[in-house]
Structure 1
Amino acid sequence: MVATSPQAGYEAEEEPEHPRPGSPRKRRIDNKKPLRIFQANVGKIPPAHDCALALADSERYDIVLLQEPWTAHTDTRSLTKTHPAYDTFTPVETWDGNDTRPRVMTYVRRDPRLLADQIRPFQTRDILWLTINGMTIVNFYRQNDESDALNILIRWPVPERCLIAGDFNARHHTWQTGQATNRGQEIADWASENDLDLLNTPDIPTNPHGNTIDLAFTNMPLAEAAVEDHLATSSDHFTLSLTLPDAGLAPMQPGRVRVTTDDELKRFAEIVELGAAGLPTADSTPSELDELASALVNLLTSAAKAAGRPTRKGARTAPWWTEECAGAAASFRAIRRLYPLGFNQDVQIAKRDFHRVTRRAKRLYWRNLIDSFTDSSAVFKAVRWLKSPGPFQPPPLQVGDVVYETQLDKANALRRATLERRTADDDIENPWIPVCFPRSIPFPLEISLDEAQ
């Protein structure tokens, strides 16, 4: 396991040892908890990017904000690092070089109580906006010699319940003693005008050069930020740990029901058989057919819930992240504590060893997986060719001149575009008129149980 320090303020309030399941007090506890955010610049280093995601998962962070993520591309694909415990959001879906690749990447834990929607008030590869449970989380990166990202951020109207965090590459006396450089005064003025509080502790550096350039601003009360040494990713930036207290969680949505075992199928069939007698009889009117269809759906749904079991999808860890990787990461952090600036030879050797161990672990994992294939079905299951949603979460959807950002709005837009293209005026006037077919289609009147399943 990764050697980490406990997070102060993350433990829940003292409650009865065994709260009564389903009690209002229990529900109130479950629906309020701190939202924990991991922020780091990983410097386009593959092992540092992998390490950031593995550490964030091991420490149960809800959101990961990375700047300068590792990316690559082929003729047909745009590549970056992903993690099975997190959904990946990117400001651009495709890229073909350094001039078009995303310079920020946001990861949101796969938790049904975290509802994330991506918004794009501006087209840019340096800023990524997400709305999560009524909060706006902004991931920001600004390169030293560029001004476009900061110009966009200053023009953007800051909403309520907002957090902006990332690599600002600027200096101002409010976060680092000395003269303002790289438009630091503009950033300070922008924060003041928008009633944004700086979460950084002044003069606590966020890189080995002693500069405080990774910043976090928010207009939410009681938010906190701390530079966490035990979350070092091996890049040349330190990691910020952000906490937003009392973040409201979305209510748990009912999941799918699984009916697969012989006993479950038998029970399902018995319930359907008993309920079939109560189905309404239908003639030929649309209202009667609708009533029959609704009753049939309700019967099948209730039977599945009674006979089956809910599916439980838990977030998984990265399968290649081994004890050896965790040990190498812990060794690197232990040596880095002795030399905080990170320029000592021992630190560089430990960093190189950690990168080597990480690359070897990933290579060995994939080699063993490939060697374990015994037939085509094993290969098919491993690569999941039939179910390839892509590495990124869907961006805002544009239909005509309208842009839809939330999941519900996008679903309704797709429904209207695909299912409501026809109206009742397009129906056949009398669908019961006999039709003479030139030939018949052979079709068995009986269906086996295997076919029905």
Structure 2
Amino acid sequence: MIYHYPTQKLNVGHAPDAHEIALTLAYISDIDIILIQEPYTFKDLSRQITKKHLSYECFSPTDSWAISGRPRVLTYVRKKKGIRTFQLRPFTTDTKEASDLLFLQIFSSTGKSALIVNIYNTPAGSIRAGEAAKALTTLPEAYLPQATILAGNLNLLHNRWQLSLYCSPTPFGLVLISDIDCPTHERGNVLDLSFASSPLALAGAKASIASHLDATSDHQPLITTVLWDQRYKETAQKLRFNTLDHTSFLSLLASNLAGTESSAATEEDLDAFAEKLTSAIQGAYRGSAKRTMTQGIG
């Protein structure tokens, strides 16, 4: 069966709660790849502590945060889905500029591959403003393979995706696949974008706002689907409540059930409520089993 590998991107604004909620909702929604911009990081960068989830492997753009500074992007890949990964580092390792871009080559169980680029492009008036976008234009054309997805918080105002604006042409050599003129920030601008290489765009790659994955950030989450390869089925696991961190479990369960109506007037309503309740319990369990979701990368 051909499957659209779901990839989510979201700027969580360094907020620990938003970061944790984003990971939990992605897990419940069966998201395979998560691109986080402005992630939460513990103030002591030498310890390299951020939010983690037991079902995902976390990738950092640099090896030493103490040298490069706080990472502005993190990428998570779901485990036990037959996805192999290889991180690429086209720029000098552990420089401050390198913390804004993360290149991850992913391989399916059948050998097909795609390059996933996670970007945070600093806005005007900030440190390293526009440097991440500029760095992309310096890459040799051959570096971006036929199968490429680039997504993130680009902080670029352009009339190509925001029709009310007029700016000079963008230098990106990829195809815009996110919705045009749909604000992704609470103040109204289109700041979060997703691009694809032409073959993937022609094959139906598409990105859109996913309000059901809202993690209380001031940015809207985007979800990208790509007609890519066959899905690898995850092995079902039994719930073992003796492995739970109970405080974390109850906190996540309360978050997952927020806004869920408990009344059921019809049999269909009851079935829908039971499904939501089951998903909420499973998500809270996965997020709290064995240890809390907050831990060091190393």
How would you bin the TM-score normalised by the shorter chain? 0.7 to 0.9
State the one-letter code of the partner of 1:109.
R
- Determine whether 1:235 maps to 2:245: no
Aligned match for 2:227, one of 227, 239, 245: 245
In 2, distance between residues paired with 1:36 and 1:148? 28
- 2:211 and 2:233 map into 1 onto residues whose CA distance is 34
Equivalent residue for 2:114? 135
User: Residue 68 of structure 1 contacts residue 103 of structure 1 at CA under 8 Å; is this kept in 2?
Assistant: yes
Secondary structure at 2:66's aligned position in 1?
A: coil
Residue 324 (structure 1) shift: 1.0
> Structure 2: which 5+ residue stretches go unaligned?
93-97, 108-112, 262-283
State the partner residue of 1:213. 191
1:198 and 1:90 mapped to 2: Cα distance?
A: 25
Change (3 A) 1:79 1:121: same
| Residue matched to 1:152 | 135
Q: In the alignment, is residue 42 of structure 1 matched against residue 12 of structure 2?
A: yes
CA drift of 1:178 comes to 2.6
* Aligned residue type for 2:208: A
Alpha-carbon separation, structure 1, partners of 2:41 and 2:101: 16
- Which residue is 2:82 aligned to? 113
* Displacement after TM superposition at 1:139 (Å): 0.2
Q: CA deviation at 1:161?
A: 0.4
**Deviation sequence 1:62-88 (CA, Å, 0-9, x none):** 000010000014385111100011000
Compared with structure 1, are the counterparts of its residues 119 and 327 closer, same or farther at alpha carbon in structure 2 (3 Å cutoff)?
Answer: same
Letter in 2 for 1:78: Q
Question: In 2, are the aligned partners of 1:36 and 1:241 still within 8 Å (CA)?
Answer: yes
Match of 1:327 in 2: 257
Alignment CA distance shift 1:81-1:75 (3 Å): closer
Q: Output the amino acid matched with 2:159.
A: H
CA contact 1:110–1:315 (8 Å) conserved in 2: no
Percent identity over paired residues:
32
How far 1:112 sits from its partner (Å)? 4.5
> What SS is found at the alignment partner of 2:17?
helix
Partner residue in 1 for 2:56? 86
Unaligned 5+ segments in structure 1 are 1-28, 253-311, 332-360, 370-380, 384-388, 393-453
Residue aligned with 1:125, SS = helix
By how many angstroms is 1:155 displaced?
A: 1.4
From the superposition, tell whether residues 229 and 313 of structure 1 become closer, same or farther in structure 2 (CA, over 3 Å).
closer
State the 1:180 CA deviation: 3.8
**How far apart in 1 are the matches of 2:12 and 2:52?**
14
Q: Provide the secondary structure at the position in 2 that maps to 1:49.
A: helix
Are 1:207 and 1:237, in contact at CA under 8 Å, matched by a contact in 2? yes
Residues 365-391 of structure 1, C-alpha deviations (whole Å, 9 max, x = no match): 99xx9xxxxxxxxxxx979xxxxx962
Structure-1 residue corresponding to 2:38? 68
Say if 1:228 and 1:249 are closer, same or farther in 2 by CA, change over 3 A.
closer
How many equivalent residue pairs? 244
Summarize the Cα distance change of 1:88–1:313 in structure 2 as closer, same or farther, 3 Å threshold.
farther
Identify, as 1 or 2, the structure richer in strand.
Answer: 2
* Alignment check: 8 A CA contact 2:12 2:217 kept: yes
In structure 2, C-alpha distance between the alignment counterparts of 1:65 and 1:164, rounded to whole Å: 10
Q: Give the TM-score, by structure 2 length.
A: 0.73
Q: Check the 8 A contact 1:83/1:318 in 2, yes or no.
A: no
Deviation at residue 141 of structure 1 after TM alignment: 0.5
Residue type of the partner of 1:137? I
For residue 6 of structure 2, what is the amino acid of its counterpart?
R
SS in 1 for 2:99: coil
Give distance in 2, aligned partners of 1:119 and 1:225. 24
TM-score normalised over the length of structure 1: 0.49
User: Is the 8 Å Cα contact of residues 128 and 138 (structure 1) preserved in structure 2?
Assistant: yes
Deviations 1:93-127 (A, max 9, x none): 33239x71100000000024111111111130000
Which has the larger helix fraction? 1
| Higher relative contact order structure (alpha carbons within 8 Å, sequence separation ≥ 6) | 2
Counterparts of 1:289-300 in structure 2, within 5 Å, are none
- Change in Cα spacing, 1:236 to 1:75, as seen in structure 2 (3 Å) is closer
Look up the match of 2:267.
none
- For residues 44 and 155 of structure 1, do their structure 2 counterparts lie closer, same or farther at Cα, with a shift above 3 Å needed? same
The C-alpha deviation readout for 1:215-269, integer Å capped at 9, x for no partner, is 00002120111111111110110010110013345799xxxxxxxxxxxxxxxxx
